[in-house]
């Protein structure tokens, strides 16, 4: 269960979130929880979550370790403040900031080198779904951004299927639509990495996940977890999702 805060919450709001969220989390047995604050609040979030089952991740990473790259943050820097995870290839980064499948691949490899766990996002736009191009888009993103990883690298990533038309729109994919996309991705994984990798890979669904739709989504065997945006900002609502 992953909560992507995007560009929300200052330092005080970050601390206040954990003060309310941690006591509200019940079912931690076998359940991984990660919160993705902004870069500047990562260290504070790591401190606030220390001793709990909640881990902290970053929303982006650069693929080189250091150098003259103004404004960028490297994977070893994230690891050095206690970050364990990173989101790579979120559709907002792909569409507003020019992220490509090639940079997704480089960022994923860099994250793995620093022992961060990447959640690699893929997903189609509305016009692509409406023109029956969903599998073509997912297949291209997978083939160019994920398939070149080695089997050892692949075993350490999670994939998030996030249909762009469902992100921040209140329009969740039905559990069946999400499961069909996950099934397609698992077929691609099987083709490139084999049966065991396909069975083991965790594929999260993201797109307007809320406390009232999480149960239906998680009832699909193809759906292994959720990447939650808006509903992860409120401690009670994210707790309801992780406690589903
Ligand atoms: C996201 O940011 O990854 C996301 C799924 O957002 P939301 O839950 O708000 O649709």
162 is a catalytic site residue: yes
**Ligand 1 centroid, distance to 108 Cα (angstroms):** 20
Q: Which two tokens stand for residue 220?
A: 């699909």
- Which is the closest atom of ligand 1 to the Cα of 167? 10
**Ligand 1 centroid, distance to 164 Cα (angstroms):** 9
Band the pLDDT of 230: cuts 50, 70, 90.
Answer: very high
Band the pLDDT of 171: cuts 50, 70, 90.
Answer: confident
- pLDDT at residue 172 is higher than 90: no
Q: Which two tokens stand for residue 98?
A: 């020019």
pTM (two decimals) = 0.97
Q: Which residue among 92, 128, 162, 188 is the active-site one?
A: 162
Helix or strand run (H / E) with residue 33 = strand 33-36
- Which is the closest atom of ligand 1 to the Cα of 206? 5
Band the pLDDT of 30: cuts 50, 70, 90.
Answer: confident
Do 209 and 231 contact (CB within 8 A), yes or no? yes
**Tokens 């762009």 — which residue?**
164
Which residue's CA is minimally distant from atom 3 of ligand 1? 229
Q: In this predicted structure, what is the pLDDT of residue 29?
A: 83
**Ligand 1 centroid, distance to 206 Cα (angstroms):** 6
pLDDT, tens digit, for every residue of 56-101? 999 999 999 999 999 999 999 999 999 999 999 999 999 999 999 9
**Ligand 1 centroid, distance to 118 Cα (angstroms):** 17
Q: Which of 35, 158, 162, 241 to mutate to test the pocket of ligand 1 (most atoms within 8 A of CB)?
A: 162
Q: In this predicted structure, what is the pLDDT of residue 31?
A: 87
Give the separation between CA 10 and CA 23, rounded to whole angstroms.
Answer: 21
Q: In this predicted structure, what is the pLDDT of residue 117?
A: 98
């Amino acid at each position: 269960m992953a909560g992507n805060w995007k560009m929300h919450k200052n330092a005080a709001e970050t601390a206040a979130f954990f003060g309310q969220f941690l006591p509200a989390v019940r079912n931690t047995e076998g359940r991984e929880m990660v919160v993705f604050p902004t870069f500047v609040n990562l260290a504070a979030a790591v401190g606030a979550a220390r001793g709990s089952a909640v881990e902290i991740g970053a929303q982006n990473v650069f693929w080189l370790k250091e150098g003259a790259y103004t404004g960028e943050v490297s994977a070893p820097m994230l690891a050095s403040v206690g970050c364990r995870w990173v989101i790579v290839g979120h559709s907002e980064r792909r569409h507003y900031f020019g992220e490509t499948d090639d940079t997704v691949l480089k960022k994923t490899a860099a994250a793995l080198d620093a022992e961060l766990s990447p959640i690699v996002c893929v997903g189609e736009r509305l016009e692509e779904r409406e023109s029956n191009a969903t599998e073509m888009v997912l297949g291209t993103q997978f083939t160019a951004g994920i398939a070149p990883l080695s089997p050892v690298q692949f075993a350490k990533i999670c994939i998030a299927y996030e249909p762009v038309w469902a992100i921040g729109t209140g329009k969740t994919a039905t559990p069946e639509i999400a499961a069909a996309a996950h099934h397609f991705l698992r077929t691609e994984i099987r083709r490139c990495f084999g049966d065991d990798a396909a069975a083991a890979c965790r594929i999260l669904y993201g797109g307007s996940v809320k406390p009232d739709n999480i149960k239906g989504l998680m009832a699909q065997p193809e759906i292994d977890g959720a990447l939650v945006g808006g509903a992860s900002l409120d401690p009670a609502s994210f707790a309801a999702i992780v406690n589903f």
